[in-house]
Structure 1
Amino acid sequence: MTVFDHLGITVNDLARGIAQFDPVMQALGFGREDAAASVAWWREGEVELILFPAREPADERHVHGRAGWQHLAFATDSRAEVERLHAIALAAGWTEVRPPQVFPRFNERYFASFVEDDSGIRLEFMHNPPRES
């Protein structure tokens, strides 16, 4: 049994959230299911991601580093996949936080990029192959 079943994320504008998340989630191989006041992406054996609209209009977006959301990291099979997903996110309107690059503070193999949506939700695309034996 998996520990995490689903992740719910609240966004300021659901239609805009769908426009930004859908290309990324589709590129990751997730199916989409729309409901009356939410949308979910799922893939067999994976955590389901659900977007909900904010119950009250927000005057500002989430600010990275404040209490609450930090980021969600998607593991990939290659550096090329990190670069591909990063480009798809940018084309869907995400803002680049960090371009695809090696992050030696984690380890010399850790290759990742970071993007944020209009609500301040941050995603990471990362490739961290095991050490060679």
Structure 2
Amino acid sequence: MAVVSRRGRPHHIELWLDDDGSWPWLLERLGYVLESSWASGGSWVLGDVYIVLESGPDHVRGRHERLRSGLNHVAFWAGSRAEVDAVVGEAGRHGWTLMFADRHPHAGGPDVYAAYLENAAGFEVELVAED
């Protein structure tokens, strides 16, 4: 079996947020596990990648603007089409809104089955089906 290098793959992602209320649910729904937490945030792990969420006035100044320079969105593999649909079905109860509903689940094009979600802080995530 060939060894696959981790070169170029994300080591971790750190997001600074006004309010991280919607993110923990999404990360846990995608299989991440809370590894550690502290007063202003926490770290969620899945395999060899971890995501840090930090919030609070000492860290964040202003609302996220995905259409300005910087991060537009984060895309996650989200399992099968049924699993993507299940997350979309639950997302509204956890602070996420479906974007591009008129083109869902093919807003990214006819060959991509994905959901685009946005939270109240303006962060966008793309959930891509594996099949």
* Alpha carbons 1:24, 1:88 under 8 Å: kept: no
2:129 to 110, 127, 133: 127
* Alpha carbons 1:96, 1:114 under 8 Å: kept: yes
The Cα shift of 1:56 comes to: 4.7
Deviation >4 Å, runs of 4+: none
Provide the aligned C-alpha RMSD in A: 2.0
Structure 2 equivalent of residue 35 of structure 1: 38
**TM-score, length of structure 2 as denominator length:** 0.78
The separation in 2 between residues aligned to 1:96 and 1:104, in whole angstroms, is: 13
* Alpha carbons 2:43, 2:51 under 8 Å: kept: yes
5 Å-filtered alignment, 1:104-123, equals 105=109, 108-123=110-125
* Alpha carbons 1:110, 1:128 under 8 Å: kept: no
The separation in 1 between residues aligned to 2:111 and 2:60, in whole angstroms, is: 42
Structure 1 equivalent of residue 18 of structure 2: 12
Identity %: 23
**TM-score, length of structure 1 as denominator length:** 0.77
Structure 2 unpaired stretches of 5+:
none
